[in-house]
Amino acid sequence: MGVSLAGGSGLHRLSGAPGRVLVLTALATCVVGCDASTRQTGPPSSAGTIAVDVAEIWYQSIGSGRPIIAVHGGPGLDHTYLMPGLAPLGESHRLILYDQRGLGSSITPLDSAAVNMTRFLDDIDAIRERVAGTARVTLLAHSWGTIPALLYAMRWPGRVEGLILVSPVEPGQRFAELTAERQAGKRLPEDVAAMDSISRTAAFRQGDRRARNQFFFHVFRGTFSDPAVADSTFRPRLLERTTVQGQLVTSLLMTPIAGLDFWAQLPELDVPILLVHGVDDPIPLEMVRELADSLPSASLVEVPAAGHFPWVESPEPTFAAIAAFLEGPGAGS
């Protein structure tokens, strides 16, 4: 199965079984990510790099067992915001994190031949083959990371045991206006003012890590169900290469695929898929429900009291849903 990275022309629609929706009502009693020290002990951990064409891709492996590759969001971010929140997955599986090329600790030439979606998919496959060392893997992707995760599964469905799509973005443009409206409506005046103030500083313009991380904190604060949770638990720690090169990597990656739309091809993707979405996420729940309906073997968990980072705001129902999916019928087969 292929997908055009230039846009949605020529794609066709097939009928698909509707996604199964499960609404969880359990409320979290603690917030994952508050104390890194309590989450970093126990499972074995290792890190390294692998060469993929002209790039050096950094990875970290936590725990043992069936592998889960975490595909971080962005574009133009790195893996750091996922941790230590996702560390509990390393207690039952082998959690593999990596930095997308040109970001974090991953190095690549900054040109269109080295930074493009095809190369991004090749990196995931190299992690699967050379780090996970298995024929099939589960991909856990967050936000924009769900796009390369879906495209990878379309390109190599036989190499995917399952997809976990957390706070997924739209694979097209149907909900673009509604998404922009929701995002604008969630943006808080104090965050807008802070972003404006920070962006005017010389430090921000020069890619200073501290200034850029402060900026991203205010970008994401309004995506929480309760901004007070962000104030107490969420502090971006993006690495220097990310803060300096993130915008250029984003431009190189996204310019050739502006307007990419593969809604019509989703019914062909028959691999087990879990969608996890906070009910207060500015990404419209209507879109995510349609996404679940378009995928033949998908289920949707709507997480209460959560926005764009449900593992931070409502960890208990989020991890319960992920655990049920990972241990469900056919897991590991």
pLDDT at 27: 23
- Of 65, 147, 146, 126, the C-alpha closest to 331 is 65
Q: Which residues contact 252 (CB under 8 A, 6 or more apart)?
A: 102, 110, 111, 112, 115, 116
Residue 314 · residue 278 · CB < 8 Å: yes
**Residue 185 Cα to chain centre, angstroms:** 22
- Enter the tokens of residue 208: 């200073």
Q: Which residue has the higher pLDDT, 105 or 20?
A: 105
Where helices occur in the chain by DSSP H, the ranges are: 36-39, 117-126, 146-155, 176-186, 189-199, 202-205, 209-221, 227-233, 240-254, 285-294, 310-313, 315-326
Give percent above pLDDT 90 in the chain.
84
Q: What pLDDT does residue 328 have?
A: 83
Q: Can you tell me which residue has the tokens 């599964």?
A: 153
The string of pLDDT tens digits covering residues 178-224 is: 999 999 999 999 999 999 999 999 999 998 999 999 999 999 999 99
Are 237 and 99 a contacting pair, CB within 8 Å? no
Phi then psi for 232, rounded to 5 degrees? -100, -15
| Cα gap 243→107, rounded to integer Å | 14
Can you give the pLDDT at residue 43? Answer: 83
pLDDT at 9 over 60: no
Q: Do strands 94-98 and 55-62 pair parallel, antiparallel, or not at all (unpaired)?
A: antiparallel
Mean pLDDT (the chain) is 89
pLDDT digits (tens, 9 = 90+) for 92-108: 999 999 999 999 999 99
Please give the radius of gyration of the chain, using alpha carbons only, rounded to the nearest integer: 19
- pLDDT digits 0-9 by tens, 313-324: 999 999 999 999
pLDDT for res 331: 65
The pLDDT value given to residue 14: 25
Residues 268-294 have pLDDT tens digits of 999 999 999 999 999 999 999 999 999
Q: Is the dihedral of CA 149, 269, 302, 95 positive or negative?
A: negative
